[in-house]
Copies of this chain bind each other. A is one copy, B any other.
Amino acid sequence: MHKLPVGVLGASGYAGRELCALIEGHPSLELAFASAHGQRGQTLRVGKREVTFTGADEAPLGDAALVFSALPHGASLEWVEKARAAGAKAVDLSSDLRIGNGRSDVPYGLTELRRNQVVGADLVANPGCYPTAILLALAPLVSSGLLEEQSTISVSAASGVTGAGFTPRPDLLFAEISEDFRAYGVGNAHRHGAEMRAMLGELGGDNDLIFTPHLLPVARGILATIVVRLKAELKSPLAPWLELFSNEPFIEISATTPSLRDVVRRNTVKISAVKAENARQPTLIITSAIDNLTKGAAGQALQNANLMLGLDETAGLPA
């Protein structure tokens, strides 16, 4: 069977390597090139074969039906534009083109909320990992106007260290992370906050989103724990999600609290919601888990690419 050639820019990082592995197992795609600045000529084991990194400037962009850019924020936009100019479609995994970061004309590839804009698109901005877990958890409440007006949405989220990328930093060494846990970017100023606030605004929200990320001593996975005040008690705490996401192949609504291991290496977000006891104001506690490298990056990028290329949305994705 003929396979569509796709390329990966920035293929040596965690998201880039995950993309190469997913493409290798995809029934209708094949890897045309994989670039890695400074590692050109080195090889990456992908399944049973080896891929040799090229420089980005040597990559045959025009040979690809679609190019994934897993380049760093700031460096990505230039190469996405080159790929587009060479005739390839593009999915940008960086924040350069995301909503809330200055551009809003590019479809925001939170697939389940923006599927109509993604199908057949030439260019998609892939969401951040935290926003994927958190916006899918909040969308049913916000878009239905169930939250108390102007109430605070408190989000405490924790990510495995691959979320910080493959860059060698002393604070990410094993001996620094093991047996530790801490919040970072405290004060609501994390880059992903703007992305989430912009999207919540589009969904009709008027709430203060307070977002505190934490760094976990695990390799992969994000868990978000969210507290919201409601206008009124819900009859069934899971109803808003079951209604909005009833047929979604990659969303799992559950009465049991998600754990990282429920979602690791799957392109799935698992969401639960429980009514708070011992509270006078109707309050919901929502938990949401994803694999930051799959549904939070490479998997969702492939989900979007499938729709952009007219393929089955679930092709090549571990649900």
Chain A interface (Cβ within 8 Å of chain B)?
Answer: 14, 48, 150-152, 154, 156, 158, 160-162, 166, 168-170, 172-184, 186-189, 193-194, 197, 208-210, 212, 214, 216-221, 223, 225, 227, 229, 257-261, 264, 272, 274-281, 283, 285, 287, 319
Contact = CB atoms under 8 A, between A and B. Distances in A.
A178 B319 CA distance: 22
Contact of A210 (B174, B188, B272, B276): B276
B189 A278 contact: yes
Contacts of A257: 182-184, 186
B281 A152 contact: yes
19 contacts: A156-B225, A158-B158, A161-B173, A166-B173, A168-B169, A168-B172, A174-B177, A174-B178, A174-B217, A178-B217, A179-B264, A180-B218, A181-B221, A182-B258, A182-B260, A208-B279, A210-B227, A210-B276, A214-B223
A214 B224 CA distance: 11
A158 B179 CA distance: 12
A172 B170 CA distance: 9
A179 B272 contact: no
Nearest to A289: B182
B279 A183 contact: no
Given A186-B272, A188-B283, A209-B278, 20 more contacts: A150-B281, A152-B283, A156-B227, A168-B170, A168-B172, A172-B174, A174-B177, A174-B178, A175-B220, A179-B260, A181-B223, A182-B257, A182-B259, A184-B257, A188-B285, A208-B280, A208-B283, A212-B227, A216-B216, A217-B218
Query: Which are the 7 A-B pairs with shortest beta-carbon distances?
Result: A156-B156, A154-B154, A168-B168, A182-B259, A174-B177, A175-B219, A154-B227
A264 B221 CA distance: 18
